[in-house]
Structure 1
Amino acid sequence: MESMGEVLRSMSNPAVRLRSRDLERELLNHELVLRLRAEHPELDESRLRLHLPRLYQYVEEARNCASCPGLDKCPNDFQGHYSKLTVETAGGFPDLYERKTACQLQIARDSQERIRRRITSFYVDERVLNEGYDEIEIMGKDPRRAPAVTRLYQYIGSVKESGLSARGLYLYGSFGTGKTFLMCYLLHELAVAGYSGVIVYMPDFIEELKSMMTDGAKLKETVDTLKNCDLLIFDDIGAENLNPWARDHVLGPILNYRMERKPTFYTSNYPLEGLEKHLSFTSKDGEEIHKGQRLMNRISPYVEVVQLVGENQRGLSRS
């Protein structure tokens, strides 16, 4: 069918009237229009003729959808949507109404966008969060990771079934074994379930805090975000160059607020004992064992320690 839209708009031109009648007849006998007429015999042909452009749009967009080129190349007037016709009675007479309806591809994209908006990233590579997750690959990538991955699956399942607890996970292991990737997977799965989450790459976050010292509003907004999100992940804790202010006046209050309320998660190259040593030493004041212990008292009781054993995947494929 040629572009009836253009023809219909130019029907006042005698040169196209004859062809427009052929197109009108072709449109009214199109299988989609015939089906509509069969479902709504109360809608007479004269009423249909008043809505020829609307019928044309309906048929044309159905044709586009039948040979869908993908969401980004959608040729319909409203990308990711198609025309849907309904018959409703107004003023005692049936009439034809059109509304734009999201296609399945658009619905899926909207769903993913809603999930993505529940996740906030501070200094973590967005590609890790945006990549898809293949559960078979996650488990099968390195068999030595199986115990840790199984525990992660169990935790996700428990939250979906029973809701959040105040207890998170402390995932530690050697470089490149997939700790960040697995925590991003946890964040994604629980975002699908409706929970908000924040993941913070600690080395860059601690450096950025220095500039926030002079911007009280930004600092408060950041700290409030970390305090109040459902799921908080401190990624690569122990790799940062810690200073007393960041430890005692930022990390301390965040963990103090969350410890009886919401779960906090960690990835680290250190076991808990090694992390305590790290938190006890700052670049300015040197070793302060009691301050490290104070912070660990807000971490250790509220996490389950999970060791991730495996091959360094960096330089290989992802995860």
Structure 2
Amino acid sequence: MESINQSLRQFSNSRLQQQFQKLKKDVLEDARIRSYLASHPELTTEQRDNGLNELYQYKEQWQNCDKCPGLDACPNLIKGYQPHLTIYRHDIHLEYQTCPLKRKADERKRHASFVKSLYIPKEMTEVSFDDFHEDNPSRVKAFAKAMGFCAEVKPGENGRGLYIHGPFGVGKTFLVGAIANDLADRETTTMIVYAPDFFRELKTGISDGSYQNKLDVVKQAPVLILDDIGAETMSNWIRDDILGAMLQFRMMEKLPTVFTSNFDLDELAIHLSSTQRGGIERVDQLKAGRILERIKHMNDVIDMKGENKREK
């Protein structure tokens, strides 16, 4: 960038001299410039004039910030950065630091990197405990337990999770969305998965070879949230090869799992025992019982009650 002084030396007519003097006056009368120069009385007139271009850029870019059009339309030399004046080897120099909007955008991206989701509406991954406004005792208790879980969770050290059950529309998915975002603030990676769609996706992944990789990504998540468990069509394969194997791995690795379901644990036991073969056989009851024991052993139960908020 060509400096003001360099431009001046290319011209000698009085009109340009007048324009330069006006520009110089405007720069030196700027409130921020006056404040900066007053805080550095050691600067000589020569140093000040040599740094006039930096002072000009500082003034202009801060005026852009005063009328900020938003991060995407930022007109500054470096989008999302604000200028700061420094002294380097007795000369005035400009440095740049991120502006509040840029820092906020970067924080959102960093935050998003800790929350991964499959088949979950985007708005459910953006809610937080701050969005909770409730006086229903059951929901208040559920949110208190959820916040306690977030404060204590330690993937790899403590594998305890939550089993959240209740009827349609009481806010179970909302609650796990808030859990995921609270954990993201604590830099704990969370995977939220809508269980029925995930199980269907695994089935289609057998034919194209993506099955194992998809399963590994989910089962190895530091914190896994399985939303709406029990809404899937149960089969021996889902129960034994997917859900059972996943929970066994997570129990051994002490990785917390959070479930939401319309079923309480007794109802889930019946669901896990009822496969597409029809009826409930002894062997199915035994295999379902193993999964229930893992869930009971590693999860605190939250019973959410209340009116269906989706009907409001």
Q: TM-score range by the shorter chain?
A: 0.7 to 0.9
C-alpha separation between the residues in 1 aligned to 2:52 and 2:216? 56
The answer to whether the aligner puts 1:98 opposite 2:98 as a matched pair is no
Closer, same or farther: CA 49–222 of 1 in aligned 2, 3 Å: farther
So what's the TM-score if we normalise by structure 2?
0.86
Give the Cα separation in 1 of the matches to 2:6 and 2:304. 67
Q: What percentage of aligned pairs have identical amino acids?
A: 35
Q: What secondary structure sits across from 1:259 in the alignment? A: helix
| Cα separation, partners in 2 of 1:111 and 1:151, compared to 1, 3 Å | same
2:66 is matched with 66
Which residue does 1:212 correspond to in 2? 205
Q: Structure 2 matches for 1:1-319, cutoff 5 A? A: 11=8, 12=10, 14=13, 16-89=16-89, 94-131=90-127, 133-137=129-133, 139-140=134-135, 142-159=136-153, 165-216=158-209, 218-260=210-252, 261-283=254-276, 287=280, 288-316=284-312
Per the TM alignment, residue 102 of structure 1 is displaced from its structure 2 partner at its CA by 1.1
Q: CA 1:22/1:191 → structure 2, altered by over 3 Å: closer, same or farther?
A: same
Q: Give the match's secondary structure for 1:249.
A: helix
Segment drifting more, 9-18 vs 104-113: 9-18
- Measured after TM superposition, the shift of residue 168 of structure 1 is 0.5
Task: Identify unmatched segments of 5+ residues in structure 1.
Answer: none
Contiguous gaps of at least 5 residues in structure 2: none
Cα distance in 1 for partners of 2:215, 2:109 equals: 25
Letter in 1 for 2:159: A
Q: What residue identity is the alignment partner of 2:147? A: Y
RMSD: 2.7
Contact 2:127/2:174 (<8 A) preserved: no
The question of whether the paired residues in 2 share the 8 Å contact of 1:202 and 1:237 is answered with yes
CA offset digits 1:97-128 (Å, max 9, x no partner)? 22221122322222222111101101001111
Tell me the CA shift for residue 166 of structure 1. 1.0
For 1:164 and 1:80, the matched residues in 2 are separated by 40
Q: What is the CA deviation profile of residues 188-220 of structure 1, one whole-angstrom value per residue up to 9, with x for unaligned ones? A: 11110111000100111111112211343x333
Q: Distance in 2 between matches of 1:21 and 1:256?
A: 78
Alignment length (residue pairs)? 304
Distance 2:164 2:194 in 1: 14
Q: Is the 8 A contact 1:58 1:85 kept in 2?
A: yes
How far 1:144 moved relative to its partner?
Answer: 4.1
Letter in 2 for 1:58: Y
